[in-house]
Amino acid sequence: MDTVTTIAAVREHVRAWRRQGLRVAFVPTMGNLHAGHVSLIEAARQHGERFVASIFVNPMQFGPNEDFAHYPRTPLQDAGMLAAAGCNLMFSPEASEIYPHGAERATRVEVPGLSRILEGEFRPGHFEGVSTVVTQLFHIVDPDVAVFGLKDFQQLTVIRRMVADLCMPVEIIGAPTVRDADGLAMSSRNQYLTTAERALAPTIHATLLIAAQRLAAGDAEIASIERAGVQALEAAGFRPDYFAVRDAATLSPPLPGVRELVVLTAARLGKARLIDNVQVTRP
Ligand code: PAF
């Protein structure tokens, strides 16, 4: 695996692969890799012949009171994991390479509507930061296919919409969420949990599954299902931001005929803010 930090070096590698007619798959990350990220690389391997991963903790997608400064950074460990997973090129730029005029002055990409609901309501500007950096990374890497985790379901939805709206020639793949044995979705932010909080954290997935089971059984009382989710999380000691049943394609509240649904939640536990979701097909 080669490791590069400049846009020019990424382009040089990718152009050489293109001249050989090789299909390029890309996994954007913020580093601090865990088994969930490795599964993204494995998904990428099914769709390409050369693999690029970026490691960039994107300042634009963090709010002023969020964890940008403390976000775990483990570049050496990340490089080892990527190389072992079969990655060919690791791109880990400095912020000045991506935002030469500073993140505040950079040109921005915004997917309206979708970016303002759910996570967007609680993290204003977050998805603008994500769609902007993903656009830049796509222009830099020029991949045929890019892989994103389904754990960040709304992020994947925003990116799919952006790629369609802006006619970006990139195939977007959603890779399944990787969970610990007790159901907790893997996330770099799980490190913020104390031992006692870590023991409670799987309640998030369990609560989502209860909601999904009600929907799968034909229960159409969406408001009641959402209320029960919030109450269960609160009773377990979480501070939920939202617990929502949505149309899996649009993230709108589901119309009666819509069968493909997703239940999404974000909840705070101690210093951590955890998000998760489950998809469900109703009868
Ligand atoms: O999912 C993430 O890690 C980030 O939001 C992404 C897609 C790498 C953009 O910074």
Per residue in 178-217, pLDDT (tens digit) is 999 999 999 999 999 999 999 999 999 999 999 999 999 9
Of 37, 47, 126, 205, the active-site residue reads 37
Phi–psi pair at 188, nearest 5 degrees? -60, -30
Average pLDDT, the chain: 97
- Give the number of other CB atoms < 10 A from CB of residue 46: 11
pLDDT band at residue 270 under the 50/70/90 scheme: very high
Quick: pLDDT tens for 72-118: 999 999 999 999 999 999 999 999 999 999 999 999 999 999 999 99
Per-residue pLDDT, averaged over 244-272, amounts to 97
Q: Which two tokens stand for residue 222?
A: 């969406």
pLDDT in tens, 112-148: 999 999 999 999 999 999 999 999 999 999 999 999 9
Q: Which of 37, 152, 159, 160 maximizes ligand 1 atoms within 8 Å of its Cβ, making it the mutation to test the pocket?
A: 152
Confidence of residue 11 (pLDDT cuts 50, 70, 90): very high
Q: Which domains does the chain have, with CATH numbers?
A: 2-175 (3.40.50.620), 188-281 (3.30.1300.10)
- Which atom of ligand 1 approaches the CA of 159 most closely? 7
Residue 63 sits at φ, ψ, to 5 deg, of -75, 165
> Is 47 considered catalytic here?
no
Report the atom number in ligand 1 closest to the C-alpha of 29: 8
Cα of 134 from ligand 1 centre, angstroms: 8
pLDDT recorded at residue 5: 98
Q: Which residues pair with 266 in a beta bridge?
A: 242, 275
Q: pTM of the entire structure?
A: 0.97
Report the 10 Å Cβ neighbour count for 136: 22
The 3 state secondary structure assigned to 140-191 is HHCCCEEEEECCCHHHHHHHHHHHHHCCCCCEEEEECCCECCCCCECCHHHH
Residues 163-183 have pLDDT tens digits of: 999 999 999 999 999 999 999
Name residue 65's amino acid. Answer: N
Do residues 186 and 35 touch, judged by C-beta distance below 8 A?
yes
Q: pLDDT tens digits for 16-63?
A: 999 999 999 999 999 999 999 999 999 999 999 999 999 999 999 999
CA 29–ligand 1 middle distance (angstroms): 5
- DSSP state for residue 254 in the 8-state scheme: P
Ligand 1 test: best mutation among 128, 133, 277, most atoms within 8 Å of CB? Answer: 133
CA–CA separation, 204 vs 229, rounded Å? 9
| Distance, CA of 164 to CA of 63 (rounded, Å) | 27
Residue nearest to atom 6 of ligand 1 (CA): 29
